[in-house]
Structure 1
Amino acid sequence: MELTVRYFAGARAAAGRSEESASAGRCLDELLDELTERHGERLATVLKAASFLVDGVACHDRRAPLPAGTTVDVLPPFAGG
């Protein structure tokens, strides 16, 4: 049971990839802990400032379970307007 994590802009650079799989069934906060363990402090810094979409919808409940097949988009702050 997996979900997909997609990285954009600075998050892609920090993770060293544009997409990866992770275990489903946990909440966003737990997923972010796993991603930090995988990729280190550089990605952790980006994750602290990032916004997250879960299946295209802004995530407001970081404790809600993420089921298998979910796509989580990691969107760091963007410059400009």
Structure 2
Amino acid sequence: MSGMIEVRYFAGARAAAGTPAERVAAASVDDLTSVLTARHGERLAVVLKAASFLVDGLACHDRQAVLPVGATVDVLPPFAGG
């Protein structure tokens, strides 16, 4: 079962998605990447493959874990420098 979640994009992910944020229905991060790729195309798919994801502010290492309904997912592409 998938629920609505808020997706926030940062840096290159924002540019590839063409929006700073949106609401989508997704059950897991893997499901989310499929939904977002279908919606925004290959440019965002490339970014998502290398991105890190925060779910309600916590790093998500299990892309198959169930996303809580109403969660906020931050999409963080790799950043240069440091």
Bin of the TM-score, shorter chain as denominator length: over 0.9
Counterpart residue identity of residue 31, structure 2: E
Deviation of the 1:35 alpha carbon? 0.2
TM-score (norm 1): 0.94
The aligned runs of 1:4-23 (5 Å cut-off) are: 4-23=6-25
Q: CA RMSD in A?
A: 0.9
Q: State the Cα deviation string for residues 21-80 of structure 1 (Å, max 9, x = none).
A: 0114x1110111000000000000000110000000000111111121100000001111
Match of 1:75 in 2: 76
Counterpart residue identity of residue 3, structure 1: I
Within 2, Cα distance between the matches of 1:62 and 1:46? 15
TM-score (norm 2): 0.93
Counterpart residue identity of residue 67, structure 1: P
The aligned runs of 1:1-81 (5 Å cut-off) are: 1-24=3-26, 26-81=27-82
Within 1, Cα distance between the matches of 2:56 and 2:8? 11
Counterpart residue identity of residue 45, structure 1: V
Of all paired residues, the percent bearing the same amino acid is 70
Number of equivalences: 80
Unaligned residue ranges in structure 2 (runs of 5+): none
